[in-house]
Structure 1
Amino acid sequence: MALRAVQLLERVPISVQATIARALFGLPKPVRRLLIGAPVRLDGQELASDAQLLLWLDKLTDASMVQSRDHVIARTALDAKSEIVRKRDVEPVDVRTVEVAGAEGPLQARLYTPAKAPDDGPLLVFYHGGGWVIGSLGTHDNLCRFIAANGELRVLSVDYRLAPEAPFPAAADDALAAFRWAVKHAADLGANPDAIAVGGDSAGGNLAAVTSYLASKRRGAQPAFQLLFYPGVDASVRRPSRELFAEGFFLTSREMDWFLGHYAPDEASRTDPKLSPLLASNLAGLPPAYITTAGFDPLRDEGEAYARKLGEAGVPVVLRRHADLIHGFANFIGLGTRFTEAVSEAIGALRTGLAMGSMGSPGSSATTKPAQPRKRSTPAKKQ
């Protein structure tokens, strides 16, 4: 019966699936609890009901099994599924296509300009997630609109080259080249060249971290800030969270192997700081960072280890664990309220960091305790 339900739902048009999902998230909490079952508790954490409901829907559509698909099919599937979690009440944002310089040729990008963005204001160069294999400007369009509108700043989303057609270090090289292009053409973008941040989610968070590291070790412009959503920063080892949350929490351990097998098939390359910045011998001099992790995420432990290492190197850093959330939450802002709360908090940190020019004096760092659901989001604070 369950298999038949999955097969039937997979035949439903994506637009209808999106309507069904929104209706389910609009149900009273007691009814939702009947659907999803008892609360999930693991590693001293309780999964948010919004996240549990999303995982319940994910099982019905078998959306997480990218490791069993051809990479081209996986890309198409993610493009389609992104419609289900799209937030529909984002304030209007002007969007235009821009061609930026990559490491080996031009790349497509989108410039998001909200009405309240000041002239000569800050800019976020954003790298989308997707394991360096899937994901696109389209899959992260909604998130970039939301960041631009609520952060009141411009966002430049970069469509870097994907593996396996362009394996490591192509994406990392493109990310750095795109940042440098943005600085050089800041006036054309309406941005202040001294207030350009980098950011991204998952593999995009990896690229933002790598760009910050490479820029700090080379002559030239440096990012003003780095915004890292659950970044992958060490491809060389499996930490406890990789085993604890290997299955059933959106991103799986098998999928991580699938992504790395496409992006970095040569295992020797996985210790290179251009892929694993956590392994860099010296992180001093990197820009201030806001790193947010999810409690139920295989990548949780490496992201938090990176935050600690940045702090030890004298980099101003705030670490924010949302103990009740799952990997990918930044893209789920169209469903429920909990995902939006977490992303809004990160946007507040980005605005604050850029406005202040730094998040503290050299050598300062801050971490926050695992977050619990709150009725409204507030900017992360040092404690």
Structure 2
Amino acid sequence: MTAVPLKNDTLLRALLREPVPYTPVWLMRQAGRYLPEYNQTRARAGSFLALAQNHEYACEVTLQPLQRFDLDAAILFSDILTIPHAMGLGLDFHAGEGPRFAHPVRSEEDVRRLRVPDMDALRYVFDTVALVRRELAGKVPLIGFAGSPWTVACYMIEGQGSKDYQLIKSMLYGRPDLLHRVLEINAQAATQYLNAQIQAGAQAVMLFDSWGGVLAHGKYQAFSLAYIRKVIQGLIRENEGRRVPCIVFTKGGGPWVEDIAGCGGDAIGLDWTVRLSDVRHRVQDSVALQGNLDPMCMFGGEAAIRDEVRRVIDDFGMVGDGGHVFNFGHGISRFTAPEAVATLVDEVHAYSRTKHAHAAE
């Protein structure tokens, strides 16, 4: 595709710890059920999967938050489970229950049959990326994403969401050889998947390791981070004449930020259980930081939202050299009022401009 110059590249510069005039902001799940227009589009599509697999609908909902809010990035509307669905595991979304696989990976034979899917089976995702880039016309960058090999494996083996991860942890402790094979296949698939998104036009990418935090120390490094590192090592890191930043987000990963900072990514996503200032010190400003507002603060009213935004920005500290992307510490709640999001974005931009201006003096 012919690259259109970015009108707003603040996010990309912040991810690379370059000087920026303010702290950029985007939100995990920013295209989602808290927006009435999203729910209307999803109803027209008929189901979540039909919405995600139709590149025109998926483009529409990707762009909806940017039509309401002055966000600094779009994030592709898709799901982390598109890869195992393309492997033939039979993904479906049950109302009120979340994703389920008809054919979970449980036995040695199940593992033996696993293959990296043909990326043509995921063409609808790459078509969405290309269409979003055209529709954005350089307004803000587009973030692509994939689930981490471990997190995707959790769903593949459990068959759905889990409270105790008994099935995958039984494999981890009882047949680690089988789990390593699953993770290796997932890592290869995620690498190809993200590279295809980059080639289609994604200008930054993110690995969502939503369940890395359920692992014991040592097991996290061996069964999650090692495979995140493999994915990053295989990524296209420059496209359209500039670096493609990579963000790594492990929910509950606070104990291991030093290890995460060394895995090859440009930025670490952080949940609300850690202090940004502490993490900056621990990683010695070697990577950018993303986060880390508790999304539940959005129900506390305007004053609370503005106070919490300022607290997060103040906690990060001196910002003259960039390195901070404002976000939640996990996805936005579906019950959040759009007006609360407008307040948050306004406060991030207004307050951070005063801090950046001071840092530049």
What TM-score do you get using the length of structure 2 for normalisation?
0.35
Q: What is the TM-score with the length of structure 1 in the denominator?
A: 0.33
Decide which structure has greater helix share: 2
Greater RCO structure (CA 8 Å; 6+ sep)? 2
